[in-house]
């Protein structure tokens, strides 16, 4: 079933569907809001565990390194560590966080292709042995590390269906792969890993097929220069259902089910790929230096992935309170709430109306659906751009009305600021 496009029926769907996994029941929502105040981000550890186990099951033989840039809450990191996850770190600050919470960086990959020298040494000193690079200057930083530091080359893959394009900025082209291989050899170092990222919120698993093909081309090129690839990192990008995605992959009934079928397709591409020695499929592969690359996929590879969004988005729900009510000149109600684009809605890649704001009412309340009308919702800052929804179907609200927003676990609190002197949302984790 596709998600209805009519905003009124969308909200009705969210409120009434028992399959929407993220809404807090009325009693819990009110109790937590009363106890902690709002804005409040409520995380559920059980959802993290479920999602991690689901991913492990549907990504067989893939080691999961959680991309903690999505949400670096200590409680969350602890849960994931207990489940056996590794961590993808992006900065010295994230290294320090992992060191403080976990005690070591042994199970981390430093995946940001551009790092300070200080961050690199800090990570190495605390046990990190996987470092990603995509250009000469970064490789020159990494070759200063002792020989047991693994060098993983990030390759550029096309941005297909993703919402957040990581391809323009990151990744080496196939031509650059050859020169980087030569440079590493010159320093007496071996490139042992290939990494890619199809872009975040990539709704079409077919994007991975293209990426696997390019990884194989890169592997062949590297092996010609004497570099034996032991590890392929397929990055993150797995999508979540925010309730408004136009995609054949997403059907609204269960985001976890959808993710499972997505991952199964991805694994089929991988398995097909690693079973075939040479294949006609590659006849259309990009030519490098005018030669068609012959593909061979033998040998044991450690597969790893760095999911961020898909592991944590659905586990967190925001509770927020209406602090202002007015009518626009055309009669549209405008509600101002106590969290906004400078707070938990800081993920700037999504247009207004992306997140669903749901009044906290009894689950079976039909009245609110019937009386819902298109409304505008703004955040608390004194900024005209702090708009969360242009036309979201809501019943009549008043100052003090409590709303909840599901799917707020990824790229939300991590980007929040104190702009306008506003408080960031408090964060709690319950079972
Ligand atoms: C290198 C790297 N790995 C993993 C991720 C996580 O991606 P996602 O949250 O889409 O799974 C990102 C996101 O930007 C990234 O840059």
Give the span between the Cα atoms of 177 and 182, in whole angstroms: 9
Task: Report CA-CA distances (Å) from 31 to 37, 38, 319.
Answer: 10, 11, 11
Residue of 235, 262, 307, 407 to test ligand 1 pocket, by largest number of atoms within 8 Å of CB = 235
Average pLDDT over residues 9-19: 37
Q: What gap in Å lies between CA 234 and CA 194, rounded to an integer?
A: 8
What pLDDT sits at residue 368? 61
Rounded CA gap, 364 and 12, in Å? 10
Task: Give mean pLDDT, residues 362-370.
Answer: 63
Whether the predicted pLDDT of 132 surpasses 60: yes
What is the CATH superfamily name and number for domain 7-42+313-430?
Lyase, Ornithine Decarboxylase; Chain A, domain 1 (2.40.37.10)
Nearest ligand 1 atom to alpha carbon 202: 10
**Nearest C-alpha to atom 14 of ligand 1 is from which residue?**
200
Architecture (CATH level 2) of domain 45-312: Alpha-Beta Barrel (3.20)
Which comes out higher in pLDDT, residue 280 or 75?
75
CB 4 within 8 A of CB 239: no
Residue 373 has pLDDT above 80, yes or no: yes
Does the CB atom of residue 237 touch ligand 1 within 6 A? yes
Give 137's pLDDT tier (boundaries 50, 70, 90): very high
Residues 30 and 394: beta-carbon distance below 8 Å: no
Distance in angstroms (rounded) separating the CA atoms of residues 210 and 204: 11
Lowest mean pLDDT among 78-82, 138-142, 175-179, 240-244: 240-244
In this predicted model, what pLDDT tens digit does every residue of 177-225 receive, in sequence order?
999 999 999 999 999 999 999 999 999 999 999 999 999 999 999 999 9
User: Average of pLDDT values for 300-321?
Assistant: 95
What is the 186 CA–ligand 1 centroid distance (Å)?
31
**For the chain, which residues make up each domain, given as ranges?**
7-42+313-430, 45-312
Read off the pLDDT band of 352 (50, 70, 90): confident
Average of pLDDT values for 338-357?
87
Average pLDDT of the chain to the nearest whole number: 87
Does ligand 1 lie within 6 Å of residue 150's CB atom?
A: no
203 lines ligand 1 (CB under 6 A): no
Q: Which atom number of ligand 1 is nearest to the Cα of residue 199?
A: 10
Residue 53 has pLDDT above 60, yes or no: yes
**Tell me, what's the pLDDT at 43?**
97
Q: What is the mean pLDDT of residues 37-51?
A: 97
The SS3 call for residue 292 is: coil
State mean pLDDT over 385-408: 95
Range of weakest confidence among 40-54, 172-186, 349-363: 349-363
What is the pLDDT, as a whole number, of residue 364? 58
Cβ of 412 below 6 Å from ligand 1: no
Percent of the chain with pLDDT over 90: 75
pLDDT tens figures, 149-162: 999 999 999 999 99
Q: What is the pLDDT of residue 361?
A: 83
**Mean pLDDT of the region 278-282:** 40
């Amino acid at each position: 079933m596709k998600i209805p496009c009519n905003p009124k029926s969308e909200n009705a769907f969210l409120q009434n569907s028992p399959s929407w996994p993220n809404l807090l029941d009325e009693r819990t929502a009110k109790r937590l809001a009363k106890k902690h105040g709002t804005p409040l981000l409520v995380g559920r550890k059980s959802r993290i565990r479920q999602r991690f186990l689901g991913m492990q099951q549907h990504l067989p033989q893939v080691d999961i390194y959680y991309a903690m840039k999505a949400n670096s809450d200590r409680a969350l990191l602890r849960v994931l560590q207990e489940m056996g996850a590794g961590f993808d770190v992006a900065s010295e600050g994230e290294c320090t966080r992992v060191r403080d919470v976990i005690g070591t960086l042994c199970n981390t990959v430093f995946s940001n292709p551009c790092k300070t020298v200080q961050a690199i040494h800090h990570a190495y000193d605390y046990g990190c042995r996987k470092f990603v690079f995509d250009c000469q200057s970064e490789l020159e930083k990494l070759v200063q590390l002792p020989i047991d530091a693994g060098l993983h080359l990030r390759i550029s893959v096309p941005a297909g269906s993703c919402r957040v394009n990581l391809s323009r900025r990151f990744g080496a082209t196939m031509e650059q792969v050859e020169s980087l291989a030569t440079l590493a050899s010159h320093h007496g170092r071996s490139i042992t890993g290939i990494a890619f990222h199809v872009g975040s919120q990539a709704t079409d698993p077919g994007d991975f097929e293209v990426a696997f093909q390019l990884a194989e081309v890169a592997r062949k090129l590297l092996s010609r220069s004497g570099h034996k690839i032991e590890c392929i990192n397929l990055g993150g990008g797995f999508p979540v259902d925010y309730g408004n995605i136009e995609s054949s992959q997403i059907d609204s009934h269960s985001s976890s089910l959808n993710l499972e079928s997505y991952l199964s397709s991805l694994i089929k591409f991988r398995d097909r790929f690693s079973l075939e020695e040479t294949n006609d499929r590659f006849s259309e592969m990009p030519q490098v230096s005018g030669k068609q690359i012959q593909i061979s996929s033998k040998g044991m590879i450690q597969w790893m992935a760095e999911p961020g969004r898909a592991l944590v988005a659905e586990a967190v729900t925001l509770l927020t309170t209406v602090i202002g009510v007015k009518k626009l000149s055309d009669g549209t109600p405008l509600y101002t709430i106590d969290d906004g684009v400078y707070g938990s809605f800081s993920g700037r890649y999504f247009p207004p109306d992306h997140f669903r704001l749901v009044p906290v009412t009894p689950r079976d309340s039909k009245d609110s659906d019937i009386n819902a009308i298109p409304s505008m919702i703004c955040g608390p800052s004194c900024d005209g751009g702090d708009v969360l929804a242009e036309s979201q179907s809501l019943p009549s609200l008043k100052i003090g009305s409590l709303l909840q927003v599901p799917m707020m676990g990824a790229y939300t609190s991590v980007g929040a600021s104190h702009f306008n002197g506003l408080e960031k949302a408090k964060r709690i984790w319950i079972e």
